[in-house]
Structure 1
Amino acid sequence: MRVFHELSKRSGIHGEPHPVRRTRADELRLIGKHVTGVATRNPFLAGGSVDSLVVPHPRKPGGIEIYTDRLRTALGSSALVLDSGINGTPLPRSTNLDFFTSAAGAVRSRIVDERSRKVADALEALTGVKVPIAALVAREVPKHLRLRALYRTLLKRRGIKTVYVVVAYFHQHIVGAARDLGIRVVELQHGAISPFHLGYSYPGRPAVADQPDELWCFGSYWTDVAELPAGMATAVAGAPFIQPLSDPELAAKESQRVVFLSQGTIGPSLFEFAASLAEARPEYEIVFRPHPSEHASDYSARSGVRISSGPGESTLGLLASAGYQVGVATTALFEGMVLGCRTVVAQLPGHEYLQPVVDRGDAVLANSPSALASLLPVAPICPDSTDYYAPDNLAALLKG
């Protein structure tokens, strides 16, 4: 994933997917939190065994981490919650190893692996883009090995029997530590999966090291949309965090409101779609919603386009009020389908994620800003969104 992000950025195809901007003061405050956390949030300092480890997602709209909220409630005191505060606010009463995570990444190997150079040269010959694979390996592999050993110790000391993790491909040190000990690992889906997502798609289903045993999905659509690694099973856990609107709520929608759902990778290009639509069809209300990892200041005011940013107006609230949604590959497009939005996919890098949805007739593809205006009237409403977001099935999975 890190090589792919570097390749797509350096080639000019994508921007930064999740930009993090810290001032020097921010970094000093973060170091202070790490040091304090060694004493106040250290999972090694608590005694006793617990059945499960839960690793949530750092994003928490309204202070709620939606992907593990129901799970953490069901497990109660039998689970240790390990929630990093590096790129977000940790959950109350959670623990973390942030100090050790940052320290492990601060020391890099001085030995350049010759295989890394060969891979970098081969990738450059294939794509014309030079990616610093040797530098990534020098940083990430030693970090992984240090953290893997640390987590093995933690898992053994606390008697963990099952690890539940969100975004497993960025927590492979935890997954690897659990697999070293024969501990079951369950990943909870956090976003869109497709054959083009390098965290999940392994054509031919080869055996891949340090992968979860199971992937619990929002709905049946996600269980076979990509070829997962060999041995990884899937199950439908459902999505209790989003429900279809009632008939009165659907009737109250602003039928001329069009919400553009941005992502850091394609934000400026999608903004041009929004500005073009505002100019061509002034009768529509155009709302541009940056991704939570983006900054509203990245976008200059354009006539007819309102930029919606921050917690004062939620993404789901906007979608619940809108008649239309436009995006590229964001998970929010699927959420908007549940909430009764007519869906248009902008043909920008990454739109392939939504091609199966277009093929199913649940969305239409706009190949240019000028085409968008004519496509809006024929954009479909998804007639049944339960394939994407099924009712809650978590209790049955925990019993099974």
Structure 2
Amino acid sequence: MFELQHADNFHFKPVKTKNLRYIDQVQFMKIFHKKYCTESVCHKESKKVADYLIKILENAFEIVFGVKEKKKIMQIIVHKVTARDGLKDYYGYLLKRIKPKIIIYVVGTGFDQMILGETGRELGIPTVEIQHGHIGRGHLGYNFNCDVCLNSFPEYLFVTGQHEVEAIRPPIPKENIYITGSPELDFKVNYYKKKLQNRKKLKKIITFISGGEREIVDAAIEMYQKLDKDQYKIYLKLHPSEYTSWRKKYCKLENSGVCVVDGSLHDIYYYLAISDYLVGVASAVLFEATRFECDIMVLKTGRYFNAESLINTGNGVYISSTEEAIKRIHSMSSKRTTSDFYHRRNSCQLIYRAIDAILDKKGEEQKSENVYGTE
């Protein structure tokens, strides 16, 4: 298992496994005295790419870039061409030394991962991206309106549920997409089901999921003001990126009465498990919540259209105001039925089966190549 550096170039320690190694291209370059093409050397090639890209963007969006914008695009491409040469050398060295049977990674749209995927393909190693978060129809990195050959895209995708299979339009065959669920979600669902089994709640719990939308914060404050405090408790689960800045960003929140979750005392699945109602806009949490019994409401603001399938499949409802939400809360008499449409259960078994299927397929391809080569 290999880990890229986090922000500010550090790794979280200690770790729970002894099988972890760190990606460190700088150390590789120092040990082997590596030097790659300078920006001046690849300037001509990069200019062709930049001109081509600018033309496509200007035609597609009917815009005209200024001189500064064109220069910026050119600088980005020059930098990436140079960086690509170094990463291909580094990952090529690692893969030839390790000789893995399969490569599995997350965040396939990351620059490092794209170069790793491309290098793996060139060496004949199956490459797999395992889904993190929600993909759907609105993610540019997984939806293409025509057939393309993209070597940096993984050969296989492990997605959490049937929804992604039906929704996304990736540049790989549909048979290369495997439904594998989420091991962590499986564990958390079972864990909290047992832990909270005999616990009695004194109040109904409503949790708002923040994805940075001010409207969600305003709705949580407004609902707190309108509901009976003796019967309802309201949480606002902030996005981790807001933990240290929310008091400045949302001035009215601190003294509003809403219970603000701005730390890691409990994980997000705890709040999904204890909540009777969940309100959000387009967070991946809304889709994970379908494995729990909380009623899901999508506030029609911002990127709410990314959660449209929740409504189409009957796993959630749209609301346009806190009044609509309160009316629904007062009228609900039963819990929502859980669903595995977005997150299939028994994830570990599904992942093992998918890996075996890919390796078997690779083995058959190699046999065919050997037979063909002897004729």
Looking at structure 1, the residues matched to 3 and 222 of structure 2 have their Cα atoms a distance apart, in angstroms, of: 42
Looking at structure 1, the residues matched to 92 and 140 of structure 2 have their Cα atoms a distance apart, in angstroms, of: 26
1:297, distance to aligned residue in structure 2 (A):
2.6
Report the CA distance shift for 1:203/1:189 in structure 2 as closer, same or farther (over 3 A): same
Instruction: Say yes or no: does 1:89 pair with 2:12.
Output: yes
Instruction: Say yes or no: does 1:262 pair with 2:210.
Output: yes
Instruction: Say yes or no: does 1:276 pair with 2:222.
Output: yes
Looking at structure 1, the residues matched to 198 and 146 of structure 2 have their Cα atoms a distance apart, in angstroms, of: 43
Looking at structure 2, the residues matched to 214 and 260 of structure 1 have their Cα atoms a distance apart, in angstroms, of: 35
Paired residue for 1:118?
Answer: 55
Aligned counterparts, 1:310-389, within 5 A: 310-377=263-330, 381-389=335-343
Looking at structure 2, the residues matched to 313 and 202 of structure 1 have their Cα atoms a distance apart, in angstroms, of: 38
Looking at structure 2, the residues matched to 191 and 303 of structure 1 have their Cα atoms a distance apart, in angstroms, of: 31
Report the CA distance shift for 1:275/1:215 in structure 2 as closer, same or farther (over 3 A): same
What letter corresponds to residue 206 of structure 2 in structure 1? V
Aligned residue among 66, 73, 82 for 1:142:
82
Paired residue for 1:183?
Answer: 125
Paired residue for 1:74?
Answer: none
% identical equivalent positions: 21
Paired residue for 1:61?
Answer: none
What letter corresponds to residue 239 of structure 1 in structure 2? S
Structure 2 unpaired stretches of 5+: 358-375
Cα deviation, 1:118-160, whole Å, max 9, x if unaligned, reads 3554566459997954343233343233212321221112212
Report the CA distance shift for 1:397/1:152 in structure 2 as closer, same or farther (over 3 A): same
Looking at structure 2, the residues matched to 201 and 191 of structure 1 have their Cα atoms a distance apart, in angstroms, of: 16
Instruction: Say yes or no: does 1:239 pair with 2:182.
Output: yes
SS of equivalent residue, structure 1 residue 147: helix
Report the CA distance shift for 1:304/1:118 in structure 2 as closer, same or farther (over 3 A): same
SS of equivalent residue, structure 2 residue 298: strand
Paired residue for 1:34?
Answer: none
TM-score, normalised to structure 2, is 0.73
What letter corresponds to residue 236 of structure 1 in structure 2? I
SS of equivalent residue, structure 2 residue 297: strand
1:367, distance to aligned residue in structure 2 (A):
2.5
Paired residue for 2:355?
Answer: 398
1:196, distance to aligned residue in structure 2 (A):
0.3
SS of equivalent residue, structure 2 residue 271: helix
Is 1:344–1:363's contact at 8 Å kept on the other side of the alignment?
yes
1:194, distance to aligned residue in structure 2 (A):
0.7
Report the CA distance shift for 1:238/1:250 in structure 2 as closer, same or farther (over 3 A): farther
1:360, distance to aligned residue in structure 2 (A):
1.1
Looking at structure 2, the residues matched to 117 and 307 of structure 1 have their Cα atoms a distance apart, in angstroms, of: 45
1:180, distance to aligned residue in structure 2 (A):
1.9
Cα deviation, 1:177-220, whole Å, max 9, x if unaligned, reads 11122210011111112110112122345433311111112222
Paired residue for 1:159?
Answer: 99
SS of equivalent residue, structure 1 residue 385: coil
SS of equivalent residue, structure 2 residue 142: coil
Report the CA distance shift for 1:239/1:381 in structure 2 as closer, same or farther (over 3 A): farther
Is 2:138–2:306's contact at 8 Å kept on the other side of the alignment?
yes
What letter corresponds to residue 354 of structure 2 in structure 1? L
User: Could you say which structure has the larger radius of gyration?
Assistant: 2
Cα deviation, 1:350-392, whole Å, max 9, x if unaligned, reads 2222101111111011224554333444678542322222222
Paired residue for 1:192?
Answer: 134
Is 1:193–1:226's contact at 8 Å kept on the other side of the alignment?
yes
Is 2:298–2:319's contact at 8 Å kept on the other side of the alignment?
yes
Is 1:259–1:325's contact at 8 Å kept on the other side of the alignment?
yes
Looking at structure 2, the residues matched to 367 and 270 of structure 1 have their Cα atoms a distance apart, in angstroms, of: 11
Paired residue for 1:227?
Answer: 169
What letter corresponds to residue 265 of structure 2 in structure 1? G
Looking at structure 1, the residues matched to 317 and 331 of structure 2 have their Cα atoms a distance apart, in angstroms, of: 8
Report the CA distance shift for 1:100/1:252 in structure 2 as closer, same or farther (over 3 A): farther
Structure 1 unpaired stretches of 5+: 1-80
Is 2:242–2:262's contact at 8 Å kept on the other side of the alignment?
no
SS of equivalent residue, structure 2 residue 141: coil
Looking at structure 2, the residues matched to 316 and 289 of structure 1 have their Cα atoms a distance apart, in angstroms, of: 11
Is 1:192–1:329's contact at 8 Å kept on the other side of the alignment?
no
TM-score, normalised to structure 1, is 0.69
Looking at structure 1, the residues matched to 147 and 73 of structure 2 have their Cα atoms a distance apart, in angstroms, of: 25
Q: After TM superposition, which residue ranges in structure 1, 4 or more long, deviate above 6 angstroms?
A: 101-104, 127-131
Looking at structure 1, the residues matched to 28 and 290 of structure 2 have their Cα atoms a distance apart, in angstroms, of: 39
SS of equivalent residue, structure 2 residue 153: coil
Q: Which moved more, 1:362-371 or 1:187-196?
A: 362-371
Report the CA distance shift for 1:219/1:114 in structure 2 as closer, same or farther (over 3 A): closer
The count of residues paired between Structure 1 and Structure 2 equals 317
1:282, distance to aligned residue in structure 2 (A):
4.5
1:346, distance to aligned residue in structure 2 (A):
1.5
Give RMSD over aligned pairs: 3.3
Report the CA distance shift for 1:261/1:235 in structure 2 as closer, same or farther (over 3 A): same
1:165, distance to aligned residue in structure 2 (A):
0.6
Looking at structure 1, the residues matched to 114 and 210 of structure 2 have their Cα atoms a distance apart, in angstroms, of: 28
Looking at structure 2, the residues matched to 98 and 282 of structure 1 have their Cα atoms a distance apart, in angstroms, of: 55
Looking at structure 1, the residues matched to 307 and 94 of structure 2 have their Cα atoms a distance apart, in angstroms, of: 40
Instruction: Say yes or no: does 1:216 pair with 2:158.
Output: yes
Structure with a larger share of its residues in helix = 2
